[in-house]
Protein backbone atom coordinates (compact mmCIF):
# COMPACT_ATOMS: atom_id res chain seq x y z
CA UNK A 1 0.00 0.00 0.00
CA UNK A 2 1.28 3.43 -0.88
CA UNK A 3 0.87 6.37 1.43
CA UNK A 4 0.81 10.11 0.75
CA UNK A 5 2.41 9.91 -2.70
CA UNK A 6 -0.57 7.99 -3.98
CA UNK A 7 -2.38 10.01 -6.63
CA UNK A 8 -5.55 8.03 -7.29
CA UNK A 9 -7.90 6.72 -4.68
CA UNK A 10 -10.65 4.29 -5.48
CA UNK A 11 -13.48 5.96 -7.34
CA UNK A 12 -17.07 5.88 -6.09
CA UNK A 13 -17.90 3.21 -8.70
CA UNK A 14 -15.14 0.98 -7.23
CA UNK A 15 -16.49 1.31 -3.70
CA UNK A 16 -19.28 -0.82 -2.43
CA UNK A 17 -21.27 0.30 0.58
CA UNK A 18 -19.59 -1.98 3.11
CA UNK A 19 -19.02 -4.35 0.19
CA UNK A 20 -20.56 -7.32 1.91
CA UNK A 21 -18.05 -6.67 4.68
CA UNK A 22 -20.47 -5.02 7.09
CA UNK A 23 -20.53 -6.32 10.63
CA UNK A 24 -24.33 -6.27 10.50
CA UNK A 25 -24.44 -8.86 7.73
CA UNK A 26 -25.60 -12.16 9.21
CA UNK A 27 -25.38 -14.60 6.30
CA UNK A 28 -22.30 -15.95 4.56
CA UNK A 29 -18.84 -16.57 5.96
CA UNK A 30 -17.55 -14.55 8.88
CA UNK A 31 -15.55 -11.44 8.06
CA UNK A 32 -11.82 -11.53 8.72
CA UNK A 33 -11.29 -7.89 9.64
CA UNK A 34 -7.58 -8.37 10.23
CA UNK A 35 -7.10 -9.12 6.51
CA UNK A 36 -8.26 -5.66 5.48
CA UNK A 37 -5.91 -2.73 5.01
CA UNK A 38 -6.91 0.91 5.42
CA UNK A 39 -6.87 2.57 2.01
CA UNK A 40 -7.76 6.12 3.05
CA UNK A 41 -10.02 8.20 5.26
CA UNK A 42 -12.40 11.04 4.35
CA UNK A 43 -14.22 13.66 6.40
CA UNK A 44 -17.84 14.41 5.49
CA UNK A 45 -18.32 18.07 6.40
CA UNK A 46 -22.09 18.00 5.99
CA UNK A 47 -22.48 15.24 8.59
CA UNK A 48 -19.26 15.94 10.54
CA UNK A 49 -18.28 12.29 10.34
CA UNK A 50 -15.27 10.33 9.16
CA UNK A 51 -15.47 7.47 6.70
CA UNK A 52 -12.73 4.86 6.42
CA UNK A 53 -12.16 2.98 3.18
CA UNK A 54 -10.85 -0.57 3.57
CA UNK A 55 -9.04 -2.47 0.85
CA UNK A 56 -9.65 -6.21 1.02
CA UNK A 57 -7.27 -8.94 -0.25
CA UNK A 58 -9.56 -9.64 -3.23
CA UNK A 59 -9.27 -5.99 -4.35
CA UNK A 60 -12.66 -4.80 -3.11
CA UNK A 61 -12.86 -1.42 -1.41
CA UNK A 62 -15.57 -0.81 1.17
CA UNK A 63 -16.64 2.26 3.14
CA UNK A 64 -17.22 2.11 6.89
CA UNK A 65 -17.88 4.57 9.74
CA UNK A 66 -14.73 5.35 11.72
CA UNK A 67 -16.20 3.99 14.98
CA UNK A 68 -16.82 0.59 13.38
CA UNK A 69 -13.18 0.45 12.28
CA UNK A 70 -12.02 1.45 15.77
CA UNK A 71 -13.98 -1.53 17.08
CA UNK A 72 -13.19 -4.11 14.38
CA UNK A 73 -9.68 -3.10 13.17
CA UNK A 74 -7.89 -1.19 15.93
CA UNK A 75 -4.39 -2.32 14.91
CA UNK A 76 -4.89 -1.40 11.25
CA UNK A 77 -6.22 2.01 12.29
CA UNK A 78 -3.22 2.57 14.54
CA UNK A 79 -0.82 1.61 11.73
CA UNK A 80 -2.64 4.01 9.40
CA UNK A 81 -2.22 6.88 11.88
CA UNK A 82 1.45 6.02 12.45
CA UNK A 83 2.14 6.07 8.69
CA UNK A 84 0.58 9.52 8.40
CA UNK A 85 1.94 11.19 11.52
CA UNK A 86 4.26 14.15 11.02
CA UNK A 87 6.39 15.66 13.73
CA UNK A 88 7.15 19.35 13.36
CB-based contact 64:58 (threshold 8 Å): no
pLDDT of amino acid 16: 56
pLDDT in tens, 10-19: 555 555 555 5
Q: Which residues contact 25 (CB under 8 A, 6 or more apart)?
A: 18, 31
Question: Taking Cα atoms as reference points, which of 44, 48, 52 lies closest to residue 9?
Answer: 52
Its pTM stands at: 0.65
For the segment 22-30, the average pLDDT, to the nearest whole number, is 53
Class of domain 33-84: mainly beta
Each domain of the chain, given as residue ranges in start order, spans 33-84
Banded pLDDT at 50 (limits 50, 70, 90): very high
Query: What CA–CA distance (Å, rounded) separates 60 from 67?
Result: 20
Amino acid sequence: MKTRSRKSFATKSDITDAGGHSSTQKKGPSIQWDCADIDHMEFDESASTYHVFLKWPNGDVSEHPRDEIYDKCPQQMLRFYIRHIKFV
